[in-house]
Amino acid sequence: MEAYKAVRSRSLAILIISALVYVASFSEQARAQDLSLNLADQFGRSIFTGAAQPMLDLSHSDSPLSGLSITGLLSNTSGMWASSAELTNFGRAAGEHHGANSLSVERNWIQADSNYVLDGNNKFFVRFWGVYEPPYPWESTNILSEQQVYDKSQSQFYNQYTVRDAFWKNTTGPLTLFLGRQIVTWGESLSFRVGDVINPQDLSWNFGFANLEQSRLPLWMVHPILNLPKAGPFTDNFIEGVWAPAWQPMYTNVDYADNRYAGLHSIAGSVNLQPPGGARFDTYPYPFTTPAQTPPGMQAAFPQVTNLVSQVQTYRLPSDTWANSVEGFRLHTLVEDAEITALYWHGHQLNNTMFVNGTPQIGQTFQFRYPELNDVGITLNRPIYIPVGALANVPFVLRTEGVWQDRTPFNTLNTARPSAVVYSSTLNTLAALDVDGLATPWLSRTGALTLNLEWNNYTILSPNKDLVYGGYAEHWRHNEENLLFSASTSWWWGAVVPTPTAIFNPDGNTWEFFPNIVLTPPWTNKYLLMLEFIGVLSNDKYSAYAGGNFKGKNILLMQFQYNFDLVRGRN
Amino acid sequence: MLAGVVFCAFECSARAQGYAAAIASDEPSIAPGSRITLQNWQRYKQFMSAGMIALFEGSHFWRLPPNIEIEIGPTISIPLPAKYLQDTARYANRTALTKTRDGGYVPTGYVAGLPFPEPQKGDPALTGERVFWDTYYRYQPRVQGAPNFSYSLDPAGDMTQTSESTYVQSQLTFLSDPAMPAAVPEANPSVYTAKFDEELSPEQSRYSTLLDLLPSDPTKVDELYEYVPALRRSLRLSQAARCAPVFGSDYLVDDENNGPPGLPQLFKVDYLGEKKILALVHATPAAFDSPGTAVGLDSRFFYAGGAGVVPFPKPAAGRWELRDSYVIALERLPQFADGYCYRKRVLYVDKENYFAAAQLDLYDSADQLFKSQMIISYPQAIPGTANDVVQSVAGSNTSFLINFKDKHLSVEPNLHACINSDCARNGYFDVSRYASPEGLMKIVQ
């Protein structure tokens, strides 16, 4: 693995140097073509002042490289725990130990987008990510168990250098085909995953709810969109398909200390990446896994386990076979003012479920699996216009979606189920109301007010009373409710943009707060600063669905972003 | 003080007399070769919009550079395209104005071309309406696209390029282009025009795209979609809030159509008369080669902007000319006026081609000058025609929106536009990509 990394690093360096040499050599041609290029001047202007001025503008040249654009950003996120001393006790009952150092995040990130326009019908996109995070003192003394000491190898866990998206887009007649590594998002929600069933998430470095976009993991896939003719009142019709193999290689940020993905790197990208056990973004652990560990009067999470032969948990990811491919399609139409889609998806669970392997007679172990599923869903949105009265100028938009899943796995306390898993169909729905860009001169003369309210309901259709959150002994509620509140406006022509956001779940009166304020200097849009608070309040620290098991992990963070524009081509 | 009196002399008398006295049609012309400066501008103010007068006076925070020179050239014809005129002759008699239940007017029976080629004929009370609807349906090509830039200039004098985007405008119905049907067969027939605007910078909003579908029924509100890169999909938006500021600029939602507001049936349109108006409509094409730098417009063609100083076009940007114009004023009908952003919108509509935004004045609820828009442009050839030209709204123009009240200014240099067949190599004819919600699934996946 190390040798492989070294080869890959060298190859990457050679590739970057080659590209720079090529671009530099082309700049000589560009100069010859009287592009009025003054690299030093452009460089200085680009680095220090004003907006995104490209270092090299090829957009007017006749070279094949005229379609190339390379832009990106450098970002530093520095964060501190709101109360690190309190967090030293986080998970202690379950055997975890943490340092009191208050550094919670120090993420350094570069994103570089290469867009290449070959012609109007063929375009290429590559997004590179490089991430460096130092070892965290809060994690350095973490001991999850004797087998899971947070050692030096895991301190490199968060670092990555990867091609995140890489695809070719071809348009031929009514068909547009995307081929390569992509993110495809369906559904209507801003923050809950309802119709958003395709891509897994990287939950190892941030709470997923705090940054849904950057947590997505692209998949290698074939992704066609076929335009369909109008049919009566149905306009803007198209059908979209996705087929992705189980082969989804991932080599960085999967080096868990417990070696859970040993031999699985070629398929590691097909499921959600969980934080390392006991790490900064891991959830509050339940202390009583088996009856042998459980004091009288308490409930073990897995009462079925009476002869645990090994603490080591194994992972059974969907293997690299044709049968484990995931696929689905979505139909889109517009009827009157309503945008409607219907989707079908066949795949596997993205989050793992803990199965008990073996029997008490021969010995039992735990295994994480990702069972197969089928999703059927429908989404609808439309603006709501109130013709007269005080609400006539209020820009309401209604968004709804619902997805039925045929076979969702749940852990159970029922000792008659030796695997500790039963299945039930589920219904995941969302109703949302937006006020989108309301003029509010009393609040801001230069910005509009946007409000979002989302109500997510997750219903387990089985009447089974023994279902518990995975790894916990707390019962699932058959109707889980989450409410999202968000508001945003801006002042001084977009220089100050506050966005208070919160999610509420009645279970334990759980609140997840993530308000932020983005400051962009009036004299430039080349850099900006975001200040954010991430906070979790809850009376139920074992509430896995509501997020109570993040209780107390409150972070104050500051994110600085610097944009760069290396090469500008035609678009 | 004197400037204030002069301004009020124009403003107050115009207000008192319904603006009619200030815009008599028989003013003398300006001799080509004349130069207007801060020293002699008052001799020519009869040819200026209220906004331009305010800039020369410097009474509303914004003023012109001290060494300002406006060079006057001959008036050069910018006729409407031949096919559009043919359609005008063929279909104009089918269009009539119909009064709505609320008291506004909408055209019925419109097919293509100018709905009212002789707007002064007919009921004099509806002259303004006829001019307005001619402006609303003025010629636009099937496809036009251009690189668009935005700058803002704040009260402290910070001028910044705030964004760059690719703008593509597709006309899908009521077309008057040679060898093209009146409506694009594969398009949604209820859409008149699709505006597609994809951000290229700054990086934090790169790929953000607005798709605005103007309905072919003008009484309906636009359908608006936004591709949000952070979501990797589009969001449905609403344009019910006509007065909401467009993020980071001085434009409100109702300002984004280069003259006509949305929901025009909610307005009454008064005809104020005719006026020769100064406009830069034959600008130097080289002025649209580059937007300028990160902190200012191209200094070869524009004066430097600063605190209170408008980065006005230099003489090198081209010679201004007098354009015969209709002047109309739009006010919301009383029952819809409460809470609306403007008391009045005064359009100076070019009599030859009905372009309305070369000069445009906006008044606040107290009837004070709020903002003025000025667009400089040059007419571009329409490919596939003999000698037809058009003032493209997508490109080959630079738009200034001067916000007197908030002491802020937005400038949008839009570079050379591709028109019709010139846009083919960019794929802009693809309706599913650039003129329907499907296209928003094809940006970054």
Q: Is residue B53 scored above 70 in pLDDT?
A: yes
**Range B364-393 average pLDDT:** 95
Q: Give me the residue label for tokens 């030093």.
A: A40
C-beta neighbour count of B177 within 10 angstroms: 25
Give the CATH fold of the B1-445 domain. Answer: outer membrane lipoprotein receptor (LolB), chain A (2.50.20)
**Range A254-279 average pLDDT:** 90
Q: Is residue B24 scored above 70 in pLDDT?
A: no
Each domain of chain B, given as residue ranges in start order, spans 1-445
* Residue-averaged pLDDT of chain B: 90
Percent of chain B at pLDDT above 90? Answer: 80
- CB nearest to A178's CB, from B154, B438, B445: B445
What pLDDT, in 10s, does the model give residues B270-308?
A: 999 999 999 999 999 999 999 998 889 999 999 999 999
Percent of chain B at pLDDT above 70? Answer: 93
Q: What pLDDT does residue B256 have?
A: 85
**Range B54-71 average pLDDT:** 96
Q: Is residue B407 scored above 90 in pLDDT?
A: yes
C-beta neighbour count of A175 within 10 angstroms: 12
Confidence of residue A140 (pLDDT cuts 50, 70, 90): confident
Q: What pLDDT does residue B342 have?
A: 95
Report d(CA A20, CA A266) in Å as an integer: 31
Q: Which two tokens stand for residue A96?
A: 């975890």
Q: Is residue A14 scored above 90 in pLDDT?
A: no
Q: Is residue A20 scored above 90 in pLDDT?
A: no
Percent of chain A at pLDDT above 70? Answer: 87
> Which chain A residues in 419-458 lie under 8 Å from chain B, judged by CB atoms?
434, 436-439, 444-448
What pLDDT, in 10s, does the model give residues A407-436?
A: 999 999 999 999 999 999 999 999 999 999
Q: Which two tokens stand for residue A259?
A: 């070696």
Q: What pLDDT does residue A90 have?
A: 87
A263: left (phi over 0), alpha (psi -120 to 50) or beta: left
By DSSP bridging, strand A353-359 and strand A396-412 are unpaired
Q: What pLDDT does residue A312 have?
A: 73
Q: What pLDDT does residue A49 have?
A: 57
B160 vs A523: CB contact, 8 Å cut-off?
yes
Confidence of residue A45 (pLDDT cuts 50, 70, 90): low
Better-scored residue on pLDDT, B221 or A111: A111
Rounded to the nearest angstrom, the minimum Cα separation between B394 and chain A is 15
**Range A193-214 average pLDDT:** 86
Q: How many domains does chain A have?
A: 1
Cα–Cα distances in angstroms (integers) from residue B388 to residues A311, B381, B421, in the given order: 81, 6, 14
Q: What pLDDT does residue A142 have?
A: 61
CATH code of residue A401: 2.40.160.10
**Range B386-398 average pLDDT:** 94
Confidence of residue A12 (pLDDT cuts 50, 70, 90): very low
Rounded to the nearest angstrom, the minimum Cα separation between B93 and chain A is 30
Q: Is residue A283 scored above 70 in pLDDT?
A: yes
B238 vs A395: CB contact, 8 Å cut-off?
yes
Q: What pLDDT does residue A38 have?
A: 54
Confidence of residue A387 (pLDDT cuts 50, 70, 90): confident
Confidence of residue A238 (pLDDT cuts 50, 70, 90): very high
Q: Give me the residue label for tokens 């992509």.
A: A182
Nearest CA in chain A to B219: A387
Q: Does A28 touch chain B (CB under 8 A)?
A: no
> Which chain A residues in 73-132 lie under 8 Å from chain B, judged by CB atoms?
73, 113, 119-121, 125
What pLDDT, in 10s, does the model give residues A486-523?
A: 999 999 999 999 999 999 999 999 999 999 999 999 88
Q: What pLDDT does residue A241 have?
A: 98
Q: Give me the residue label for tokens 């630079």.
A: B398
Q: Is residue A265 scored above 80 in pLDDT?
A: yes
Q: Is residue A42 scored above 60 in pLDDT?
A: no
Maximum separation of any 2 CA atoms in chain A, in Å? 84
**Range A532-539 average pLDDT:** 94
Q: What pLDDT does residue B4 have?
A: 37
Q: Does B206 touch chain A (CB under 8 A)?
A: yes
CB contact burial A95-106 (16+ within 10 A = b; e otherwise): ebebbebbbbbb
What is the domain extent for residue A303?
2-568
**Range B251-261 average pLDDT:** 87
Confidence of residue A34 (pLDDT cuts 50, 70, 90): very low
Rounded to the nearest angstrom, the minimum Cα separation between B246 and chain A is 7
State the complex-level ipTM: 0.89
Better-scored residue on pLDDT, A547 or A329: A329
Confidence of residue B259 (pLDDT cuts 50, 70, 90): confident
Q: What angle do CA B380, B91, B111 make, to 5 degrees?
A: 75
* Residue-averaged pLDDT of chain A: 88
